[in-house]
Structure 1
Amino acid sequence: MTADRDDEPPRWHVYGERTVYDSPWVRLVRVDVEPPDGNRFEHHVVRLQRVVMALALRNEASEVLMLRRHRFVTDQIGWELPGGIVEAGDGSEASAARETEEETGYRPTTPGRKLIEFQPMVGMVDTPHEVWVFDQVERVGDPTDAVEAGVVGWVSLGEVIGMVDRGEILGSGSITGLLRYLVAHPARS
């Protein structure tokens, strides 16, 4: 069976949800749902806060600012874009700029522009992600966020695809943002 892009798919019915666990970073809920086949059940859903990442550029956009970190959850070391949670009272752009400065010691000096917004795991996790591009940054000091400490470095955009292929760039936000940027700017890859 083929369908047109505008064909409406069958929808799930949501009867409600109850919280199983809640913290400032993560909320686990059980959602009472009924899929189109009529078999009603409870589905676990993880709800996280809005996350922003910054794709900060220099040298006429040939290099991107990144952090090389250890992530204990998966016990991996790799490169990531700076980023974090949008704090209450902050907008997404301001949060992306703040996270860049806290994690790298570089402050964006030009307004950012939203590159992409997406949900990385739509089947079980609700965590809106945004990637913001900053065309210019200036070094203002050392990173101030010791929890998010890593090695700060500039990575050639021409190396990004190979790094993704080798598993050297971690996290869907970093990978999605970088690849989306390179699709829009193919001469830089």
Structure 2
Amino acid sequence: MTSPESEDDRWIVHSERPIYENEWITVSMADISVPSGERFEHHVVSMKPAAMTAVLDESGENVLLAWRHRFPSDVWNWELPGGLIDGGEDAEQTAIREIAEETGYRPRTVEHLVTFEPMIGMVRNAHHVFLARGAERIGEPTEQNEGRFEWVPLAEIPKLIAQGKILNSGTLVALLHVLAISGHPSASK
């Protein structure tokens, strides 16, 4: 284990100014000093936090995933339901709302698994990952551009990761976490 934090190792932010802002993203320039004493400007990207959920079926053997295209990287991949946290919502409320909007299901139970920062050195963008066990069909999805959702066997997840068919960081963290805590045989392959 590493030792506790030391103020001598802290990066100091003297100031930060936005250079571009809209409702989804802020790009800032921070005036910082590093532990060696060097002082310089460093960019920072801030985005709204997100919530995503690994929804398992009643048997716990299948997970609800969307096959979808992402235009910035021009890739197709499997992803969990999820989205940005709206003002006035907490992460769990967002997770539940996004499941219903994107899939037409309501989860029976929801538990927080982990919160992580996908690009911690340059980007502020907390990702809150949840696990839902069981889901009830409540209607058709209300969001039409979120991909094609399917129940995918957990046993296939390691193969899909190896084939580059699961690339989204939140989906990877969630599914690897689910496989690890479940003791699923596919986690050791």
Same fold at TM > 0.5 = yes
Instruction: Give the CA deviation at 1:188.
Output: 5.3
Q: How does 1:168-179 map to 2 (within 5 A)?
A: 168-179=165-176
Asked whether the 8 Å contact 1:34–1:40 carries over to 2, the reply is yes
Give SS of 2:78's match.
strand
In the alignment, what sits opposite 2:74?
A: 75
Instruction: Give the CA deviation at 1:23.
Output: 1.1
Q: How does 1:44-83 map to 2 (within 5 A)?
A: 44-83=43-82
1:131 equivalent in alignment to 2:129: yes
In the alignment, what sits opposite 1:167?
A: 164
**Aligned Cα RMSD in Å?**
1.3
Which amino acid is the alignment partner of residue 142 of structure 1?
A: E
Which amino acid is the alignment partner of residue 140 of structure 1?
A: I
In the alignment, what sits opposite 1:145?
A: 143
Q: Unaligned 5+ residue runs, structure 1?
A: none
In the alignment, what sits opposite 1:6?
A: 3
Return structure 1 stretches of 4+ with deviation > 3 angstroms.
Answer: none
Asked whether the 8 Å contact 2:58–2:135 carries over to 1, the reply is no
Instruction: Give the CA deviation at 1:7.
Output: 4.6
Which amino acid is the alignment partner of residue 62 of structure 1?
A: E
Give SS of 2:184's match.
helix
Query: TM-score, normalised on structure 1?
Result: 0.93
In the alignment, what sits opposite 1:89?
A: 88
Q: Identity of counterpart residues, as a percentage?
A: 40
Q: 1:130 to 1:5 in 2, by over 3 A?
A: same
